[in-house]
Structures are given as C-alpha cells and as structure tokens.
Structure 1
Amino acid sequence: MTVYLVRRLIQALFVVLAMSLIVFVGVYAIGDPVEILISPDADQIERERAIVALGLDLPLWQQYLVFLTNAVQGDLGRSFVFNEPALRLILQRMPATLELAFGATFLALVIGLPLGLYAGLRPNASASKTIMAGSILGFSLPTFWVGLMMIMVFAVQLGWLPSTGRGTTCSVLGFIGLQPCSSGVQWSFLTIDGLSHMVMPAVNLALFKISLVIRLTRAGVRETMLMDYVKFARAKGLSPARVTFVHVFKNIMIPVVTVVGLELGSTIAFSVVTESVFAWPGMGKLIIDSINVLDRPVIVAYLMIIVMMFITINLVVDLTYSLLDPRVRLENKGT
C-alpha cells in the first residue's frame, strides 16, 4: 500500500506539472487581457504602468517560472479584476459547486440504482422498458434546454421552486447551534430555503448521471444473474431478496462505484452550464465571468484545482475499488 501511494503521488506531481504548463500556455494564447481591463481612453504611459503591475511585460517563460515559484508557496496569482488572490476567490465559491455536485451524485445513486436493479431483474416488464427509454432521454436532452424548461414549468408557471440563486445558507456549526449562521463555510442544504433553491439545479445536473447509473446497474445485473455463484445460491434455497442484495448487488457495485467516482470529477468540472442557467454562485459561474474578461490568474488557478480534484478522486476510487474487490492488489496496479 505504501509503495503504491508513493508511486501515485510521484505520478500526480508529474501530471500537475505537465498540466500547469499546458494550461498556462493555452490561457496565454487566448487573447490580451490589457485590451479588456484597461480603458481605451488611457494613454500609453498608463497602459505601460498597468501592464507592468499585472506582470504581463515579462516573456512567457518568465511568467511561467514566476507562477511555479509562487504556486509552490500556495499563491496561484492575484485576480486582475478583483485584485484578490485567485485561490481565495475560488475557495469562496467551491462550497456551492461541491454541494451541487455531491447532491447530483447522491440523486444519481438513490434514483439510478433501484431503477437499474429493477430493469435488470425484470428486463421484459413494461416498466423496465419505460425506464430504459427514459434513460435514453437523459443521455440525449441538452442540459441547458432541460434547465430552461424546468425554470419555465416549476418556477414560472407553477411557482413551486425558485429559479435562480442559492437561497439562505448556514454553516454546519451554526446549524447545530454553536455559532451564528453568518459565519463559517456556508451551505445551502442546511436550510429549507437553500434546499428549495438547490432542487432544480441538482436534478438538472443529475439527469445524465441517473441515466448512466441505470444502464450500468442493469447491465451488471443481467451479467451477474448468469454467474455460477448466483445459480448456486438459488439452488441452496436462499430467498430472492438475499440473492439479489447479497450476491448480486455487491458485485455490480464495483463498476458503478468506479464510474460514478470518476464522473464526480467531471460533474464538478463541467457544472458550468447548470450554474450559468440557474445563476448558481459556484466555481463554474466564476470561471465563465473570468473568461469573459480574460482574468488569467483565476482561469489558471481554477483549472489547476480541477486537475488536483481529478487526481484525488481517481486515487479514492482506486482505494474504494480494492475494498469492494479484495482480489485487486494495489501494489500491482502500476505494472
């Protein structure tokens, strides 16, 4: 285990270094932030002063070395627009994105597993065929269109749910009465108003994941039901419920956990559309605003944090996989 973790950490270091170079060069090539940030009425002296203050007067390789030196010290640069550390801006928005991503993943598992299990156990039933047809819609419908339709129906016409924003937030310690809700990391799911604001964006973000979990679960059930150990369990006279939840369900969870764990990273990274449609104040909304004004430090910091998240989630998924399937030996994964 120790050898495996050390190997993964070394690999992660090289991945982060390579991605930092790709991201930095890519962001440098998408335009000149001076043209957006500096007023057209400014004279040449003011423009030169602003360029020097932003560090844009240095060659690209020097800017990259400065970025690496500061990144090692935990400084990913200062926002051109807000004049604040880019890392602080992103961390302020991170709770909103994380609770939306985890909420969507939770919905995908809670809804997708039972539906996929039923569709796998009774593949010829009318309800199973309806479930599979619905999963195709979940894959096919564009996220932004579904979000707009949800706003039109549930917010505008029915008035059941709020359409935008995050609602009332509260900190965990404030929720249990140790400190007021205005301090600490703020979460929406701890208040009724926050939950009502969270329902539509979480469901919208979860639709694709629900369809994915349904299809993975159904395929796993259909394959596992043909295995010898399931036939032997039935021959011993075990109840259908015990066969399903002890012998079938545990084994189909291995690919489901692997795929859903990796999809969690993409859910965090690609929640941009949902956050934009519902004006959810998360990291995705911040990165869109930063791209519009070419706020390079925020863009680079956001992409580097996403890379670190993917690496961490990938490691956690591998460890979880080994717990679900003891036959997996982490020491041999690198060979």
Structure 2
Amino acid sequence: MLAFILQRLWQAVIVIFAMSALVFTGVYAVGNPIDVLISPDATQDIRAAIIAQYGLDQPLWQQYFAFLGRVFHGDFGRSLVYNMPVSELILSRLPATLELTLTAVIFASLVGIPIGMYAGYKPHSPISRAIMAISILGFSVPTFWFGLMLIMVFAVQLGIMPAGGRGETVSIGGFEFSFLTADGWKHLVLPALNLALFKFSLMIRLARAGTRELMLSDTVKFARAAGLTEFTVLSRHVLRLISIPLVTVFGLELASTLAFAVVTETIFSWPGLGKLIIDSITSLDRPVMVAYLMLVALLFIVINLVVDLTYALLDPRLRKGRA
C-alpha cells in the first residue's frame, strides 16, 4: 500500500507540473490585460511602464519560470483587478463554493442512492417507473433553465425563498459560512437544488443498474437462503457491492461540481469561485485565472487519489494486490 501511495504521489507531481505549463501558456498567450487595465488614451511611456511593472515584457518562458519560483514560496501573484494576493482572494471565495457543492452532492447521494436502489429492487412498479422518468428529466433539463424556474416559482411567485445572494453568514477561523444560520440556509436551498439535479439523476441510475444486476447474483441468493431479511440483504450486501462505482462517481462529481459551478453561481449571484472566474475572464485577470485552473487540476488529482485509497478499503483484493 505504501508503494502504491508513493507511486501515485509521484504521478501527481508530474501531472501538476505538466498542467501548470499548459495552463500558464494557454492563459498568458491569449489577450492583453493591459488593454483592460489602463485607459486607451494613455501614452506609450505609461503603457510601457505598466507592462514592465507586471513583467509582461519578458518572454513567455521567463514569465513561466518566474511564476513557478513564486508558487514554490506560496505566492500566486496579485490580482490585476482586485489588487490583492490571489491566494487570499481565492480563499475568501472558496468557502462559499465548498458549502454549496458539498450540500448539493451530499443531498444528491443521500437521496438518489436509496431511491435508485428501490427502483432496481422493484423495477416494474409504478413508483420505480416514476423515479426513472424523474431521472430522465434531470438529465434533459438544462441547469440554467431549471435555476430560472426555481427563482420564478419560489422567489417571484410564492415569495418564500430569496432569489440570490448568500444571506447571513457566521465567521469561523476567518472564513464566512452561511449554512450555520437560518437565513443562510434559505439562500442556500435553491442553488443547491439546482446544482444537485444532474447528480441526483446520475446517482439514481447508477444505483438502480447496480441493484438490478446484483439482485440476480448468487450473493443475494445465498443471503436470502441464509434467512436474512430483504432490508439486510440490500443494506449489507447490495449497497456494499455497488459502493465502488458510486464512490468513483461521488469523487469525480464532487470535483467537477466544485470546479464548474459557474452557471449556478452566476444565476443565483452566489459569491463563490465560479462567479470569480467569470469576472476574471471578462477582465483578463491572468493571475486569478491561472491560480483557479491550477486549483481545479490539483483538486481532481487529490480526489482521484482519495478514491483509489477508498477502493482499497472497500475491496480486500485490492489491498492484497498492492501490498
């Protein structure tokens, strides 16, 4: 197991370096933030001084190695728009995206998996057919349209939910969280439901497919022959055996949701990383764009490693094979 962990860590380091080069080159080779930062009426001397101040007059490879040198010291540069360290800017927005993402993915998993298992346990019942119809809608309805419908129904027509914003927050360790207040939960419910729609449908279909397959297997037949109740068979045997693909999807969906919650955060004016990256792209705030994309790459790498280690905990054969 130790050799496996070290191997994956070494692979992660290589991937991070490769991604840093690709991200930096892709972002810094497109556009010119100076055109956004200064007035078109500025003289050439002022323009040249600002370009030199930000190091944009150097070749791209020199800018990249200078960037790597700063990163090794924990410095991702300063935002060109907000005029503050990028790391502080991202950390100030990260809690909002984290609580929104975790709420959406955990809700989708805790509700979608039991419902999907029921649909797989009784695939021909009217309730199961209704569940599958709902899952089809979850895949088909665009996120932005569903979010607008939530706002129109619950915020505009019924007036029981806020249309946007984050609401009242509580500070913990210098970070603001809204899930600890009643007003924060009112602001969190609609964007979390909007973000959870696709994940909810995905969990239903995966759990249903795995349950239907296992209900015909010898494992379930032997468990029933041993006198176990149906609930015990489903909770102890079926759920455990379908947990490996579900863990994979949970990890990947958590990473993708955290990285790409842009549409939901924009619709509901949620002050998280998604809205920050949209504003940064609009203003060509290169340091923020690079740091955000590096954070996304690192997030996927870490979650993939955690998923692989979870595999070993769930399946003893993997532990023996990697020992």
Once residues 224 and 138 of structure 1 are traced to their aligned partners in structure 2, the CA distance between those partners, rounded to angstroms, is 25
- The amino acid of 1:289's aligned partner reads D
User: Mapping of 1:84-163 within 5 angstroms?
Assistant: 84-163=84-163
Conserved in 2, the CA contact under 8 Å of 1:3 and 1:331?
Answer: no
Once the two structures are superposed, residues 129-174 of structure 1 have per-residue CA deviations (whole angstroms, 9 ceiling, x without a partner) of 11111101111111111111111111011011101110001134xx
**1:325 has 2:315 as partner:** yes
Shift of 1:38: 1.1
> Is residue 2:238 matched to residue 1:248?
yes
- Match of residue 263, structure 1, among 222, 233, 253: 253
Instruction: Give RMSD over aligned pairs.
Output: 1.3
- Offset, 1:330: 7.7
CA distance in 1 between counterparts of 2:301 and 2:278 reads: 23
SS at match of 1:84: coil
The DSSP-based 3-state class of the residue aligned with 1:91 is: helix
Task: Give yes or no for the alignment of 1:21 onto 2:11.
Answer: no
Counterpart Cα distance in 1 of 2:220 and 2:321? 30
Q: Deviations over 1:193-219 (max 9, x none)?
A: 001100011110000000000000000
| Percent pairwise identity | 60
Q: Counterparts of 1:248-327 in structure 2 under 5 Å?
A: 248-327=238-317
Q: Which runs of 5+ in 2 are unaligned?
A: none
State the AA in 1 paired with 2:95. P
For 2:273, give the aligned amino acid: M
For residue 184 of structure 1, report the CA deviation from its aligned partner.
Answer: 2.2
SS state at 2:302 partner: helix
Q: Secondary structure at the match of 1:171?
A: strand
Corresponding position: 1:194 with 2:190: no
Q: Helix, strand or coil for the counterpart of 1:32?
A: coil
- Kept in 2: contact 1:54–1:80 (CA 8 A): no
1:82 paired residue number? 82
Q: Deviations over 1:88-134 (max 9, x none)?
A: 11111000001111001111112101210110111001111111111
Aligned residues: 323
Contact 2:27–2:286, Cα closer than 8 Å, also in 1: yes
Partner of 2:203: 213
- Tell me the CA shift for residue 78 of structure 1: 1.1
Deviation at 1:331, TM superposition (A): 6.0
Give me the whole-angstrom Cα distance separating, in 1, the residues matched to 2:141 and 2:283: 30
Q: Is the 8 A contact 1:166 1:197 kept in 2?
A: yes
Whether the aligned pair in 1 keeps the contact of 2:98 and 2:258 (CA below 8 Å) is yes
AA at the equivalent of 1:122: K
Question: Which amino acid in structure 2 is aligned with residue 215 of structure 1?
Answer: R
In the alignment, what sits opposite 2:47? 47
Tell whether the 8 Å contact from 1:217 to 1:256 is kept in structure 2 after alignment. Answer: yes
User: Is 2:251–2:304's contact at 8 Å kept on the other side of the alignment?
Assistant: yes
